[in-house]
Chains A and B, each alone.
Chain A
Amino acid sequence: MNGFYEFQFYLFSLLAIASALLFVTRKNPVPAALWLVNVMFALAGLYVMLDAPFIGVIQVLVYAGAIMVVFVFVVMLLNLGRSELTDLRSLGARLGAGVVGLALLANLLVITRQRVPRVALAPPADNEVEAVAASLFTDYIVAFELTSLVLLVAVIGSVLLAKKRVRA
């Protein structure tokens, strides 16, 4: 049982990472967006395996289903299609970025190893959604309300920004 679980876990991880790599290397924004969606699906799977099914579901619904849709929508709207040849930066920049990335990765791994204890997974809680809801609407109610405010501002802002200037 544990072995199967681990296998699944690694499978989803690999999917996520591979999709991410494919995502950053696509020239065309549309396939890139789709690969990102794939990453999100894999991550949703991981969330479920980490005993956060609610998060996993809203990941698919909100992130993949709404936010990424907006991205693809805008891409289509701007009719970008195949991007110009100069989209990717120079080889030097890419190598540099690679170096920075690796350095960052090394650091993060070291920190992880240092500070995170290797413990066995606790058994899943009975009602995860309830737990989340309880915490969200009591301890973090202020944050919740503020988030809705942010969303309101975002709606107004994006409408204003994207509006065509009708007046001359």
Chain B
Amino acid sequence: MMPILFAALQDAAVTAPAPALRAGLTVPLVLLVLLPLLGFVINGAIALAGPDSVLRRGGTDSTTARNPVVTVVGPGVLLASFAVAVSIFLKMRSLGAGAAGPLDAPLVVTFARWMPVGNLAIDWSLQLDQLSILMALVITGIGSLIHLFSIGYMRDDASYARYFAYLNLFVAFMLVLVLGGSYPVMFVGWEGVGLASYLLIGFWFGEKANVEAGKKAFVVNRVGDFGFLVAMFLIWVTTQQLDYVGAHAALGAMAGSPVVLAIALFLFLGCAGKSAQLPLYIWLPDAMAGPTPVSALIHAATMVTAGVYLVARAAPIFAGAPEASLVVTAVGALTAVFAATIALRQWDIKKVLAYSTVSQLGYMFMAVGSGAYTAGVFHLVTHAFFKALLFLGAGSVIHAMHHAYHQTHRRDDPQDLRNMGGLAKFMPATAVAMTLATLAIAGVPPLSGFFSKDEILSSLFARAQGSPLASASLLGIPGHTVLYAAYGLGVLTALLTAVYMTRMLMLTFGGSNRTGEAEQGALHEAPGIMTAPVLVLALLTVIGGWLNLPALIPIGPVGTLDAWLAPVTGASAARLGGTAHLDHNTELLLVGIAVVVGLVGILFGVLRYRAPIADKAHSPEDTGLLANAYRVDGMVDALIVRPFRGLADVILGRGVETGIDRAFSAGGTMLIRTAAFMGEKLQDGDVGKYAWMLAAGALALIAALTLS
């Protein structure tokens, strides 16, 4: 396969930029995707051939834990990929990309024909532009940090090699997703990350609950995938093209038509599935069953952001369908506040973070829905920083708690907030890092979260005041109402976010320790390999805001990200947002409100949650509505799962199995038995019966004669 691939590279077709670029960027681009794939192959081979493998069930002690090859290869390929991504980025920068430079149009590298069927011709192609390289940097960068963290976290796990194999596979597919040059190639990545997510959520498949969670994630994602597929079909039917360059050009010309609206809505259905928006968010809290670094990478920083990336990538489509964009904004806003309310009452540290992720994704959709694509992507990046940090920090905490319980042979929940407390004195570095992350997510300046969140809210407000989007209407509701409402919900969510994150911080690190006397001796900071990535992420959380400083606060270069992404999303943003602009005073006011809200939330959290509480064993079970996430899972079970099961029972169980299967297997015998039975009855020695048959036969013959 490799020779064929390289041969294909020789005559790979390139569009737009100068030929000088081609040799320079094509190979690195391919390398970027192939390196993690190579990691998957090597780690997978070790997992399969190693002592732990299913192919070779050795003794019960066999394990790939701490396998040195895996330790080098797993994170190694990621770091190498990151290096390649950085080099590509620098090359693009040096070419003056971002301004009207040679990279004004994307670099599309086509390798081979994938599906030539009739007049449908889909190619394997990768597209390199400002948006895709940014995503690739985030994926490989944060991915590397998480891989390094995993070396420590999963060190003693028997399936060490399998873990890294799956993690590498995930990164490979995620890169295909963001670097794909057409919708089908993106869909390959889309499905691939879904697969990797399923494999990693159910990583410890000995526990049924983990397997169920993996299944749930996959099935709910499928609903979204259906939307994506239908959108692709519609794009094909309408434009006969599926690559970004061609399809977007064609669809852009059809802006405003019902077809474009339909395509946009179906694409958003796909996003809702992958990025856990209402009503397809239900898989994400359950996905916390997987190892914590997995939650950090997949369910915080990268996979769930695929939906946001899709909207940004398909910006020409969404810009041509203002109603769909309003839908995206509305759903994002509702999800944000909905998830935030649930997070207020979760007792599992990872569940708090999971709902927080859903809520923050809502923010991102609010942004890209309203045409502020840069703001959405900016928040994507900063959220990746502080959410990964939060998850890794939680991972360190859980690691320590688990270790402590293991030492004292106590069976209790290491992830429950009620069992934590006062951990700051045992794990100071982690505590500081997570405090920074909490401040960032609450929107405290000058941390990164403040800048990105604020940009979203300001953009919403600005567009609500007057823009093409505000003039559109959604089911009779005028656009500006939707946008103002979204802004309001965004502010409310900011308040709630500050409260629940502070709660989490207080219950984990503040107050007195509830873990237990015996365990306290075993609580300590995580090993260096785990703490180092956490600290790196903390640094990024602090300085991340520099990526896109607003004109209001020119402490550094203003609008770097804006300028960088302009060639990709600028036109669409202008289409929806027009020349929406806030005047200086309004903007200052909005910033002020956001900061005040954040600080009020933090203060409230500190005051409310510093009172001591009981540990989990001594607390009554929380049956409240919020703690049970509005009992949505129960509703889904009753309204969808059970009826389907019942239907399947009837159709398959009773219909097919008893009806058709029996007909084929037992039917043959029954046929013969019936024939034999009839034969037996006809020849039983009763002469009278024979006489009857004779008479009847004769009558029939004569009747035939008469009637003929």
Contacts and interface: CB of A to CB of B under 8 A. Distances in A.
Q: Please determine if A and B sit in direct contact within the complex, based on CB atoms under 8 angstroms apart.
A: yes
Contacts of A136: none
B23 interface: no
A108 B699 contact: no
B706 A111 contact: yes
A161 interface: no
Contacts of A89: 688
Contacts of A100: 695-696, 699
B688 A104 contact: no
A103 interface: yes
Contacts of B703: 103, 107
Interface in B668-708: 688, 695-696, 698-699, 702-703, 705-706
Interface in A76-122: 89, 93, 97, 100, 103-104, 107-108, 110-111, 114
Contact of A107 (B688, B695, B696, B706): B706
Contacts of A111: 702, 705-706
A108 B703 CA distance: 9
B694 to A, nearest CB: 10
Contacts of B688: 89, 93
A89 B687 CA distance: 13
Interface of B: 688, 695-696, 698-699, 702-703, 705-706
A24 to B, nearest CB: 14
Contacts of B696: 100
Q: Is the interface of B mostly helix, strand, loop or mixed?
A: helix
23 contacts: A89-B688, A93-B688, A97-B695, A100-B695, A100-B696, A100-B699, A103-B699, A103-B703, A104-B695, A104-B698, A104-B699, A104-B702, A107-B699, A107-B702, A107-B703, A107-B705, A107-B706, A108-B702, A110-B706, A111-B702, A111-B705, A111-B706, A114-B706
Given A93-B688, A110-B706, A111-B705, 10 more contacts: A97-B695, A100-B695, A100-B699, A103-B703, A104-B695, A104-B698, A107-B702, A108-B702, A111-B702, A114-B706
Nearest to A108: B702
Interface of A: 89, 93, 97, 100, 103-104, 107-108, 110-111, 114
A139 B688 CA distance: 40
A100 B696 CA distance: 7
Contacts of B695: 97, 100, 104
B698 to A, nearest CB: 7
Nearest to A100: B695
B688 to A, nearest CB: 7
Nearest to B691: A97
A99 B127 CA distance: 90
Top 3 A-B residue pairs of the complex, sorted by shortest distance between their CB atoms:
A107-B702, A107-B706, A110-B706
A118 to B, nearest CB: 19
A96 to B, nearest CB: 8
Contacts of A107: 699, 702-703, 705-706
A111 B702 CA distance: 9
Nearest to A96: B692
Nearest to B696: A100
A154 B276 CA distance: 100
